[in-house]
Amino acid sequence: MKKLCVWAVAALLMAACTPKAEKATDSGLLQSKFQTEVDGKKTDLFTLRNKNNMEVCITNFGGRIVSVMVPDKDGVMQDVVLGFDSIQDYISKPSDFGATIGRYANRINQGQFTLDGVEYQLPRNNYGHCLHGGPQGFQYRVFDAALLNPQELQLTYRAEDGEEGFPGNITCKVVMKLTDDNAIDIQYEAETDKPTIVNMTNHSYFNLEGDAGNNSGHLLMVDADYYTPVDSTFMTTGEIVPVEGTPMDFRTLTPVGERINDYDFVQLKNGNGYDHNWVLNTKGDVTRKCASLKSPKTGIVLDVYTNEPGIQVYAGNFLDGSLTGKKGITYNQRASVCLETQKYPDTPNKPEWPSAVLRPGEKYTSQCIFKFSVDK
C-alpha cells in the first residue's frame, strides 16, 4: 500500500511538471508563434471574440488582422482573410496582409508633394511612386497594444518627424472592436506637431470561401457612380470619370471575374485587373453601406461602411503562387478582394480632391466597419 502511494505521488509530480500543450485559436493559430521582438519591441497575438463565437485574431506587428472566423450558411466557421501563421513569416515574406497602412495609404506620385511651400521627397517603392507609406510603412512597425476588453483592442504608434520622409511627429491610435452583430469596427485617430499628411486604412485580403481559391465567383457591389482612372504605373491621372457602360460599374452585385480580364478596356490593362479607387456616393455617411462582397458558395456576406470619400478595390492581381499562407494554402493570383476605405490616391498633389492634410491642434479621424452576415 505504501509503495502504491509513492507511485501515485510520483505520477502527480510528473503531471504537474509536464508542460501543457498550447491551445490553438479557432483559426488554428498558436500565440507563441507570434511572440518575439522586432526593433526592441515585443510582438504578440490578440484574440477578440463575441457572443456569437465569431473570432478575430490580430498581431501588433503592423496592426494586422491575421484571421477572421465567421459562420457560413451551414453554420460552419470559415477563416475569411489571407495571412500567415507565424510572425516570422510576416517578417520574412513582405506583404500587406491584414495590415494597418500609414502614414499614407495608396500611391503618391513620384513620392513627392509640397505642403506650405516645402517640398518633400518620400521613398519610391512602386513603379517610381511611394506606395503605402514607403518600404517601412506602418505595416512593418510594432504598435503598442492594450486589450481594452475581450472584444476591443487598442493599438498605438508614434511616427517620428522624417520617418519615411514624412514631416511631423504623429501619434496614431487604432481601435479594433468586434461587435455582437458580427462587425469589425475600426477607428483611427492621429495628431501631429507639424503640418503633415495622413491617410490610413486596413489592407485585409478577403476570401469569403475560406479556402483562398479564385475570387472570380465572389459578387461585388460598390456604391459609386465614378472612379479615378490610372496610367500604366498605377498612378491616378487626375480624372474622375463615370462607371456607366464600363467594366468598372459595380452598382449592383456583379461577379468579380465577369469582366476582369477585359484588357481591351485600357483601365483593366493598366491595373492588371481591378486596382482602382472608386468615388463613393455615400459621401462620408458611415451609416450607409458603401460596398458589399458576397460568396454564393458559402453564403457569407461582407458589408463595408466608412466615413471616407473613396474605396480602393484590389483583386489580388499580383499574388502569384509564391506565398504559402495559413494551413499551408498557396495564394495564387486573385485569391482575394481588398476593400480599402481611404482618401483618393495622390490627394496631396491634387488639391481639388479631398484633403489629407493634418495640422497641429487638429485630429485626424477615420472609420471603417466590416460587417459580416449570411445569405442563405
- Annotated binding-site ranges: 106-107, 203-205, 275
Of the candidates 252, 203, 250, 201, the one whose C-alpha atom is nearest the C-alpha of residue 226 is 250
Q: Which residues of 71-102 are buried (b: 16+ CB within 10 A; e: fewer)?
A: bbeeeeebbbbbbbbbbebbeeeebbbbbbbb
Task: Confirm whether 132 is a catalytic residue.
Answer: no
**CB distance 26 to 77 below 8 Å:** yes
Cell of 115: 505642403
Residues 6+ apart with CB under 8 A from 18: none
From the list 164, 191, 209, 340, the catalytic residue is: 340
As a whole number of angstroms, the distance between CA 134 and CA 218 comes to 31
Residue 118's DSSP bridge partners are 115
Residues 6+ apart with CB under 8 A from 76: none
Return binding residues for beta-D-galactose: 106-107, 203-205, 275
As a whole number of angstroms, the distance between CA 187 and CA 139 comes to 16
Task: Confirm whether 244 is a catalytic residue.
Answer: no
From the list 129, 132, 203, 276, the catalytic residue is: 203
User: Mind telling me the catalytic residues?
Assistant: 203, 340
